[in-house]
Amino acid sequence: MTTNAQPAPIPATVEPMPMVAVVLLGLMTLFWGVNFPVMKMALREIEPWSFRVLCLTAGALGLFLIAVLTGQRLAAPRRDWPMLVVLSLLNITGWHLFSAFGISLMAAGRASVLAYTMPLWAVLAASPILGERLTRTRMAGLALGLGGIAVLFSDELSRVGAAPAGALCTLGSAISWGLGTAVLKSRRWGMGAVVLTGWQMVIGGLPVLAGFAFVGHAPDLAQVSSTAWLALAYAATVPMVFCHYAWTRLVGLLPAGVAAISTLMIPVVGVISSAPLVGEAVGLREIAALALVVAALVVVLVLPAWRRAPAVPAGGRAG
């Protein structure tokens, strides 16, 4: 029996969440959640192709400007290009096109709920692509979070059956983003989060631009209200620059499954903010969903850290 055995390393899935991840997650949840009703306000007057071209252009320019001002190298390493194209098509083209059409065809709050089934697809993809174990903690958290989403969406099932296009588009955005999350985590990228996110928007935006050229149409600027312009300005800047950057950083800081599950609060913010912004109702169903989602986040993000916390001896202190 050895006397100098070292303790087993703590798996990444139970390490305390870094403070930078907590801050990024909180801000991203607020800004992305509010973005769903804000997008609805813009999409009432601007068709989806034009809306996404404007958003992706502003996002890419903003990110590259930040990179230049902070002295970062803009070039993407040649070895990253094949997977960068795949990542961009999933995280940008698929997510942005499907979500824009979905939100234009259904209630903004409910669209945010369906879009954030993304953690289910990300957790499922992380197992074969990344080898991340489907632990009991993650599965319990995922079940609680998706239960909250099911509560929010329960009264929409009849409407989905009558007009499924919006729901199918939004579900497509969730699947695309979930797969993209696993791809993003699958390698060590040769560039920082700002540059990586900017290149995703450039590459993923090309199919969107092509679609706009063939089937889209430019909005009649004289007919667009000041409210729609303000909504577009918000959607094209804060979510496109900060939220996408924050998400890229979070996937780098956390296991893909944990990062994905941590987004479950976003649709709750989306539903609650839809009440004052676009007049969508909030009631007991939304409160119950919020409770389930908070429970999911506690199970996945808080309980593992508590389990690993060092015991405090009687009359003493930890450390």
Percentages helix, strand, coil for the chain (3-state, rounded to 5) are 80, 0, 20
CA triple 17-18-21, angle to 5 deg: 90
CA torsion, ordered 234, 238, 240, 241, to nearest 10 deg: 140
Rounded to the nearest integer, the mean pLDDT of the chain is 82
95-109, 148-162, 213-227, 299-313: least confident range:
299-313
Q: Are the C-beta atoms of 99 and 266 separated by less than 8 Å? A: no
φ/ψ of 15, rounded to 5, equals -70, 145
Q: Are the C-beta atoms of 28 and 257 separated by less than 8 Å? A: no
* pLDDT value at residue 254: 87
Q: Are the C-beta atoms of 278 and 41 separated by less than 8 Å? A: yes
Q: Could you read off the pLDDT of 181-233 as tens digits, one per residue? A: 999 999 999 999 999 999 999 999 999 999 999 998 888 878 899 999 999 99
61-75, 158-172, 297-311: least confident range:
297-311
Between CA 43 and CA 39 the distance in angstroms is 6
Can you count the helices (H) and strands (E) in the chain? 16, 0
Closest to 114 (Cα-Cα) out of 164, 147, 153, 160: 153
Q: Catalogue the E-assigned strands of the chain.
A: none
| Domain boundary assignment for the chain | 16-68+78-216+230-306
Is the pLDDT confidence value at 72 over 50? yes
What is the band of 160 on the pLDDT scale with cuts at 50, 70, 90? low
Please compute the mean of the pLDDT values over residues 111-133 and round it to a whole number. Answer: 82
Evaluate the CA torsion angle 199, 267, 100, 41 in order and state its sign.
negative
Between CA 239 and CA 29 the distance in angstroms is 10
Query: Can you give 237-255 as a three-state secondary structure string?
Result: HHHHHHHHHHHHHHHHHCC
**What tokens appear for 119 in the block?**
């953690």
More confident residue, 293 or 178: 178
What is the band of 3 on the pLDDT scale with cuts at 50, 70, 90? very low
What is the band of 257 on the pLDDT scale with cuts at 50, 70, 90? confident
Q: Are the C-beta atoms of 274 and 108 separated by less than 8 Å? A: yes
Q: Are the C-beta atoms of 18 and 249 separated by less than 8 Å? A: no
**C-alpha 193 chain-centroid distance:** 15
Q: Considering just the CA atoms, what is the radius of gyration of the chain in Å?
A: 21
Where do we find the tokens 């989403």?
A: 149
Closest to 264 (Cα-Cα) out of 151, 107, 98, 160: 151
**C-alpha 120 chain-centroid distance:** 12
**What tokens appear for 117 in the block?**
């089934």
Where do we find the tokens 């916390």?
A: 309
